A and B are shown apart, each in its own frame.
Chain A
């Protein structure tokens, strides 16, 4: 085969459900798992003569996300009708935003391997309403459930700035982290709170000439895994297709493809010979929105430190690894709990270890967050301090942590109750060390000879002392005494 090099180009369209109490234009409660068609009213059913009214909370949530994505917020924004016919769309149009979206021209920083970040452009973010759900039965008809119709939906369109499947995944995960931090969406994939549609093509360089493959859009992906795998699949498929047909963006059509989860392949849905004609026009039933400086300032006041900024700060300020910083900042309340513990005097790395190695494990077993374990940040800080001072060992800290969750008692009390306080009293330990040395003449000799054997023998003697004290001796103090006696 001729020399061939290629670059992957991906842009992403993301739909996010906002976690308001009610729908975008009517007072129906948002639903998940209720009886079909129970959460609908004349407005979201598209009955004639009804009037939609905007949910102010949904608009404010959408603006918060747009601000977090560094977008320019429009001073004036309006609604448009997007017309198409589908059984899950009762009005035969979707209320959306066309020429005056509420925000545009932003960017998102996504974390990459090794603590690096990459900036991905955001073309626009606008608000719209979701459609209902078609249930495709085995029989020769379909079922329609309109409970979801009218759910506030934020559509975010990125620039084609991603160049690998892992970058696409990183963006999706980062966006989930942002909307959860802001508290504007649960971002629960299983409940369909986030849906992804990547636009993928390749720039192929062959014998010094450059070719672009036709763009494929993969519809409606609802897991990070499907998103990442579908991009990987498309890259290979487009390479194969180019080798076979030589089709380029100029000679081939843009296609829409679906993802088949069981087989992990994309399949052709339709060729876009002409762009779909949605006949957008201004929504006459809804008046426009004017956003004043004062209002925007108030909304901005609800933002918080963004997760990626926290993650970077944890590395620079607390000297944590990028991995640890990522684990701690995955969820806002874990991050805040960590910060409170550090503010209460805990040494960051030690608090981090207690949280990531023990706290998150217990929380996972109990199916809750670390901040729901009933432990105060001050108590965690205390625990880190008694490990730091050598009062208890780090393995004892795990037992104390578990007991804190069980009993709600303070770490110092538990350390005593559970007999986990390390013996650091040099006088007492010295006696034990002397006994051990007297009983192990061979090891003592080995230590004194020096070399490889010496280290091993030293470890053996330390182990003997620990055994004699049933693990309660402070190994650091014992080691010092050993060095003194043998040195």
Chain B
């Protein structure tokens, strides 16, 4: 078996960043799986990319724009129709305690 490319600590960190609660068994399972995926991706490094430009996007096109023209929005009722919880015209979410946003 190849050396693990990702260890359990990294899996736990990624899970935490993604707000996922993993069981111990899952941590082990995903460590294996993610390592295998990274091994597979590692094959790419066998290619000679010496003279290949870095690629920002897989489509060979640039500059797709739209004009600054207003389109009708959904409106409050439709917007909230599928919300798990609402409070008046707002989405209702668990209380936010700290400003950990970006």
Interface set of A (CB-CB < 8 Å, partner B) = 20-22, 26-29, 35-42, 45, 53-59, 76, 78, 82-89, 94, 100, 131, 134-137, 139-146, 219-220, 256, 258, 269-270, 276-279, 282, 284, 286-290
Hey, what's the 0/1 contact readout for B75-96 against A, CB within 8 Å counting as 1? 1100110000101111111111
Give the residue name and chain of the A residue nearest to B67 (CB): A56
B38-52 residues with Cβ-Cβ distance < 8 A to A are: none
Give the residue name and chain of the A residue nearest to B64 (CB): A287
Rounded to whole Å, the gap between the CB of B21 and the closest CB of chain A is 14
Asked whether, in the complex, the Cβ of A288 is within 8 Å of the Cβ of B62, the reply is yes
Asked whether, in the complex, the Cβ of B68 is within 8 Å of the Cβ of A288, the reply is no
Asked whether, in the complex, the Cβ of B70 is within 8 Å of the Cβ of A287, the reply is no
Asked whether, in the complex, the Cβ of A87 is within 8 Å of the Cβ of B65, the reply is no
**7 pairs, CB–CB < 8 Å, chain A vs chain B:** A53-B64, A88-B101, A141-B85, A141-B92, A143-B88, A270-B98, A288-B57
Asked whether, in the complex, the Cβ of A37 is within 8 Å of the Cβ of B19, the reply is no
Interface residues contributed by chain B, number (CB under 8 Å): 41
Asked whether, in the complex, the Cβ of B102 is within 8 Å of the Cβ of A82, the reply is yes
Cβ of B100 under 8 Å from chain A = yes
Asked whether, in the complex, the Cβ of A38 is within 8 Å of the Cβ of B102, the reply is no
Asked whether, in the complex, the Cβ of A289 is within 8 Å of the Cβ of B62, the reply is yes
Rounded to whole Å, the gap between the CB of A288 and the closest CB of chain B is 5
Asked whether, in the complex, the Cβ of A94 is within 8 Å of the Cβ of B89, the reply is no
The complex places the Cα of A29 from the Cα of B79 at a distance, in Å, of 15
Give the residue name and chain of the A residue nearest to B87 (CB): A143
Asked whether, in the complex, the Cβ of B90 is within 8 Å of the Cβ of A28, the reply is no
Assuming A20-B68, A57-B68, is B102 touching A278 (CB within 8 A)?
yes
Rounded to whole Å, the gap between the CB of A199 and the closest CB of chain B is 15
Assuming A78-B56, A135-B90, is B71 touching A287 (CB within 8 A)?
no
Asked whether, in the complex, the Cβ of A26 is within 8 Å of the Cβ of B62, the reply is no
Give the residue name and chain of the B residue nearest to A25 (CB): B66
Most B C-beta atoms less than 10 A away, residue of A59, A143, A278 = A143
Give the residue name and chain of the B residue nearest to A93 (CB): B102
Contacting residue for B65 out of A37, A54, A76, A100, CB 8 A: A54
Asked whether, in the complex, the Cβ of B79 is within 8 Å of the Cβ of A37, the reply is yes
- Sample of 4 more A-B contacts, CB < 8 Å, known A38-B75, A134-B93, A286-B57: A38-B73, A55-B66, A57-B67, A269-B99
Asked whether, in the complex, the Cβ of B71 is within 8 Å of the Cβ of A28, the reply is yes
- Residues from chain B with a CB closer than 8 A to the CB of A45 are 74, 79
Give the residue name and chain of the A residue nearest to B91 (CB): A144
Asked whether, in the complex, the Cβ of A282 is within 8 Å of the Cβ of B56, the reply is yes
Give the residue name and chain of the B residue nearest to A274 (CB): B13
Asked whether, in the complex, the Cβ of A53 is within 8 Å of the Cβ of B66, the reply is yes
Assuming A38-B73, A141-B87, is B63 touching A287 (CB within 8 A)?
yes
Asked whether, in the complex, the Cβ of B74 is within 8 Å of the Cβ of A41, the reply is yes
Give the residue name and chain of the A residue nearest to B55 (CB): A282
Contacting residue for A56 out of B66, B74, B76, B96, CB 8 A: B66
